[in-house]
Structure 1
Amino acid sequence: MGLWRHPDSEAHRYRDLAHWIETARILERGRFDALFIADALGPLDVYRGSTRAALRDGINTPTDDPLLLVSALASATTRLGFAVTVSSTYERPYAFARKMTTLDHLSEGRIGWNIVTSALDSAARNLGLERQIPHDERYAVAEEFMEVVYKLWEGSWENDAVVRDTASGVFVDPSKVHPVAHKGTYFTVPDIALSEPSVQRTPVLYQAGTSRAGRRFAGRHAEGVFLSAYSPTLARTLVDAVRAEATEAGRDARELRFFAIATVVVAPTDAEAHAKYEEYRSYTSLEGSLARYSALLGIDLSELDPDTPLEYADTEGIRGLLEVFTRLDPDRTWTPREIAEFVGVGGGGPVLVGSPRTVADELERWAEDADLDGFNIADPVPPVTLRDFVDRVVPELQRRGRVWTEYEGSTLREHTHGPGRTRLPENHPGARHRRP
């Protein structure tokens, strides 16, 4: 928060396609699985009941639609995947299924979807609702949304439906394309999917909610889970809880991949890295952090004593995030000021500062202690911090056998789950809609 003011930051170039292409190519050079782009559909207006603080610091607004970037970035790369946040609360599943299939076609199978249910009242107001749909009902909507898109992606078209037989004049065999015939509580979709299946059919499914409803949803649907935690112990608590939900849902819990957000400030020596970190800290915005977290938590933090520990209360915001800072760790309490200072440079996870060896040691410690599969590396001074990570930390991780030197497979699901794994596994609920 506030680091857009740093002289090296190119955050203001978010409107410039060349900036995004440069970022994607940096990540592909570093053999990242994917570029993940978060998104939200409303301005941040909870703090002091106004958008003023968020606008002053450029928090969340202005912003463009990340989904529209993907085809261009896929054209500029060959192996990097792309995971984009899209809300199940405000999309329509029939049109959304076609959008994602189109991107999977154009990228040759490199698309992922971060499923969110949206927590901002401002999004509800501006997208036609008189009030925010209650937290747990948003997950009920999401459950049915998933059922519909699974039917469209996995069940509507048989594998050999497209024949393109010039001799007989048949492009598609009509007997192999089936209406999904869905009529539910929230959606009615009677007809066939508009797009023929893509390489992955269903995009790689990510999820980040860690409330009780969010953990249950992740256990049923997620292939990758994004975590925000300030300690490996807390991250392990969340990992174990979601794996338990996956087992309860009849899935192989080890199929889920967990990625903790982490910010890395690296330099040739520990001393140089810490000097760089202190420089970054000098640009952070306390009020910007409070404005962002007020919206995420659904609590106007300006109304609270900044030095009194925060207490949990059910809100229509991101309950899992509120739990992280209130009751999941019995040994730690957080005040609004401490939260704002903590997330100033990072994004809700650890800020790892040091030489390449020091950072690699810490990443390995987190991975081991928290049972993680990888990290969601933040970029507070774009693209400098990602470039530093690729140029300095990735070679150290490659020497340790922690990061591949060449991609194995070509689709995003192969990146996350292994060569040849282009489709959902058989025990995933989406696979149950496949036709024999």
Structure 2
Amino acid sequence: MSKKKILLNAFNMNCVGHINHGLWTHPRDRSTDYRKLSYWTDLARLLEKGLFDGLFIADIVGVYDVYQQSADLTLKESVQLPVNDPMMLVSAMAAVTRHLGFGITVNLTYEAPYLLARRFSTLDHLSDGRIGWNIVTGYLDSAALAMGLTEQIAHDERYDRADEYLDVLYKLWEGSWQDNAVVRDREARVFADPARVHKVNHHGRYYNVEGYHLSEPSPQRTPVLFQAGSSGRGQAFATRHAECVFVSSQSKEGTKKLVDALRRQAAEAGRNPADLKIFMGVTVVVGRTRAEAQAKFAEYARHASPEAGLAHFAAGTGIDYSTFNPDDEIQPPGAPKSRGIESSVQRVTDGQSGWTVRRLLDQLKLGGRYTTIVGDAADVADALESWVNETGVDGFNLTRTVTPESYEDFIDLVIPELQARGIYKTSYADGTLREKLFGGTAHLPKEHAGASFRDLSAVQGAPLK
């Protein structure tokens, strides 16, 4: 019986400091070159050499200004500021690779669905179907103010809007152009058959869209859909829309509980639970020996900034931890919910009391809050295999520390160990990103909510014409 193969994304962002903060000061780190195209094309080639399934590119709109009620530390340590657009990186990286997938984070709250649909279709065409979308709804007050709102939209309402937004996109991606609409008949002078191209007529609570999708059908039509919500409302959204879910937890027990809940809800929604791939965020520091790995971790920690990590965490919770004493609980009993990431504290503490600022700072030794694995190749492989077997996750989003060194080390040392155990691929499968991840076809499976929008006459109350 063949073993389950681990899926693997590199986790990155079009900025200097992403998850593990302060490491831009390390003499071997190249993250300050993020603004150069060669930085990204070199990374894409490296990841494809390591047979990574994808490059998962995070993004935010707004800045982290909750800690100390200012953006001063954010600017000094480059905590996801400055940050450039992630979508503009993909064409160049796709041009130097054949198989690497790209999961792009876009905040739908501040994007018109009609134009975003075209941008994703364009990239899906140019990459031969290697595009995914990490769906986010935003959580920063600074973003809401910058985009002209008076305050952040309430947590659950953001997901209500997102549900309708996805309905609009499905109509554009799945229903506007039939599979056989493009005929490219030179002699008859017919590029597309007008009878097979349909206008979307959507008039909902939040969005009104009348128009034809501007792009002809791309290889996947709908990009592979990623989502990271772990709150109750976020899980409900994920089980309707997401094909890949990104989770972050500090314990196997907490992770298994979340994974089981997501798969159960997917089944209740009529989906195959296997059509939900779950990725966990991890940081890995690996050496040729355990001693080398520990020495490398200590070296990295000398350059990292736990306080910058705390500032990042503060923005997610909406709580200014600079006003806390070191032994104060990070979320006192009865503390009001913020309009930020509702599950932020839950993810770090797994619901356990007694988590103090001091304890959190100790966890942030590398400036980041994800589970950290330190050891030789066998130690790392043991840990990754254990997380998969004991929690049910399908793979990992591997954060960077010193870049590109951390990815190079993982590819040179850990990948061969995983392959030797039969739990990591030795070559890429053919096809689109969806086919590589799930097998089957390039398009959404028929059980997915988006597939029901292929017949617009059934979903928008207007006849096809």
My pick for the range that moved more, 74-83 or 401-410, is: 401-410
Q: Could you tell me whether the CA contact under 8 Å between 2:348 and 2:369 is conserved in 1? A: no
Aligned with 1:320 (options 343, 347, 353): 343
Aligned equivalent of 1:365: 386
5 Å-filtered alignment, 1:337-376, equals 337-345=358-366, 347-376=368-397
The separation in 2 between residues aligned to 1:347 and 1:246, in whole angstroms, is 31
The separation in 2 between residues aligned to 1:350 and 1:416, in whole angstroms, is 24
Aligned with 1:124 (options 144, 147, 152): 144
Q: Does 1:154 align with 2:174?
A: yes
Aligned equivalent of 1:112: 132
My pick for the range that moved more, 220-229 or 97-106, is: 220-229
One-letter amino acid of the counterpart of residue 117, structure 1: T
The separation in 2 between residues aligned to 1:329 and 1:45, in whole angstroms, is 26
Q: Does 1:214 align with 2:234?
A: yes
CA deviations over 1:300-326 (Å, ceiling 9, x no partner): 111222322222641111111222234
Aligned with 2:357 (options 330, 336, 343): 336
One-letter amino acid of the counterpart of residue 349, structure 1: Y
One-letter amino acid of the counterpart of residue 171, structure 2: K
One-letter amino acid of the counterpart of residue 68, structure 2: R
5 Å-filtered alignment, 1:19-418, equals 19-311=39-331, 313-326=336-349, 328-330=350-352, 333-345=354-366, 347-418=368-439
Aligned equivalent of 2:463: none
- Quickly say closer, same or farther: Cα 1:423–1:343, change in 2 above 3 A: farther
CA RMSD of the aligned region, Å?
1.3
Q: Could you tell me whether the CA contact under 8 Å between 2:200 and 2:211 is conserved in 1? A: yes
Q: Could you tell me whether the CA contact under 8 Å between 1:228 and 1:321 is conserved in 2? A: no
Number of aligned positions between the proteins? 433
Q: Sequence identity of aligned pairs in percent?
A: 49
The separation in 1 between residues aligned to 2:47 and 2:358, in whole angstroms, is 34
Normalising by structure 2, we get a TM-score of 0.91
One-letter amino acid of the counterpart of residue 420, structure 2: R
CA deviations over 1:119-159 (Å, ceiling 9, x no partner): 00111111111111111111111001100001100011000
CA deviations over 1:310-357 (Å, ceiling 9, x no partner): 22641111111222234x344x64222322332342643211111101
The separation in 2 between residues aligned to 1:166 and 1:321, in whole angstroms, is 56
The separation in 2 between residues aligned to 1:164 and 1:83, in whole angstroms, is 31
The separation in 2 between residues aligned to 1:340 and 1:414, in whole angstroms, is 41
> How far did 1:43 drift?
1.1
> How far did 1:190 drift?
1.2
Q: Could you tell me whether the CA contact under 8 Å between 1:239 and 1:371 is conserved in 2? A: yes
Q: Could you tell me whether the CA contact under 8 Å between 1:325 and 1:333 is conserved in 2? A: no
The separation in 2 between residues aligned to 1:411 and 1:318, in whole angstroms, is 32
The separation in 2 between residues aligned to 1:359 and 1:285, in whole angstroms, is 24
Q: Could you tell me whether the CA contact under 8 Å between 2:309 and 2:368 is conserved in 1? A: no
Q: Could you tell me whether the CA contact under 8 Å between 1:262 and 1:347 is conserved in 2? A: no
One-letter amino acid of the counterpart of residue 167, structure 2: E
The separation in 1 between residues aligned to 2:406 and 2:319, in whole angstroms, is 31
One-letter amino acid of the counterpart of residue 431, structure 2: S
Q: Could you tell me whether the CA contact under 8 Å between 2:305 and 2:366 is conserved in 1? A: no
> How far did 1:63 drift?
1.2
- Quickly say closer, same or farther: Cα 1:250–1:347, change in 2 above 3 A: farther
Normalising by structure 1, we get a TM-score of 0.97
The separation in 1 between residues aligned to 2:70 and 2:403, in whole angstroms, is 28
Q: Does 1:12 align with 2:35?
A: no
Q: Could you tell me whether the CA contact under 8 Å between 2:63 and 2:71 is conserved in 1? A: yes
Q: Could you tell me whether the CA contact under 8 Å between 2:321 and 2:330 is conserved in 1? A: no
One-letter amino acid of the counterpart of residue 28, structure 1: E
Question: 5+ residue gaps in structure 2?
Answer: 1-20, 457-465
My pick for the range that moved more, 148-157 or 246-255, is: 246-255
The separation in 2 between residues aligned to 1:347 and 1:36, in whole angstroms, is 17
Q: Could you tell me whether the CA contact under 8 Å between 1:310 and 1:325 is conserved in 2? A: no
Q: Could you tell me whether the CA contact under 8 Å between 2:22 and 2:77 is conserved in 1? A: yes
Q: Could you tell me whether the CA contact under 8 Å between 1:226 and 1:261 is conserved in 2? A: yes
Aligned equivalent of 2:7: none
The separation in 2 between residues aligned to 1:112 and 1:88, in whole angstroms, is 14
One-letter amino acid of the counterpart of residue 334, structure 1: W
Q: Could you tell me whether the CA contact under 8 Å between 1:37 and 1:66 is conserved in 2? A: yes
- Quickly say closer, same or farther: Cα 1:346–1:59, change in 2 above 3 A: closer
Question: 5+ residue gaps in structure 1?
Answer: none
What secondary structure, in the 3-state scheme, does the structure 2 residue paired with 1:220 have?
A: helix
Q: Could you tell me whether the CA contact under 8 Å between 1:353 and 1:359 is conserved in 2? A: yes
What secondary structure, in the 3-state scheme, does the structure 1 residue paired with 2:34 have?
A: helix
> How far did 1:174 drift?
0.4
The separation in 1 between residues aligned to 2:105 and 2:302, in whole angstroms, is 30
One-letter amino acid of the counterpart of residue 355, structure 2: W
What secondary structure, in the 3-state scheme, does the structure 1 residue paired with 2:184 have?
A: strand
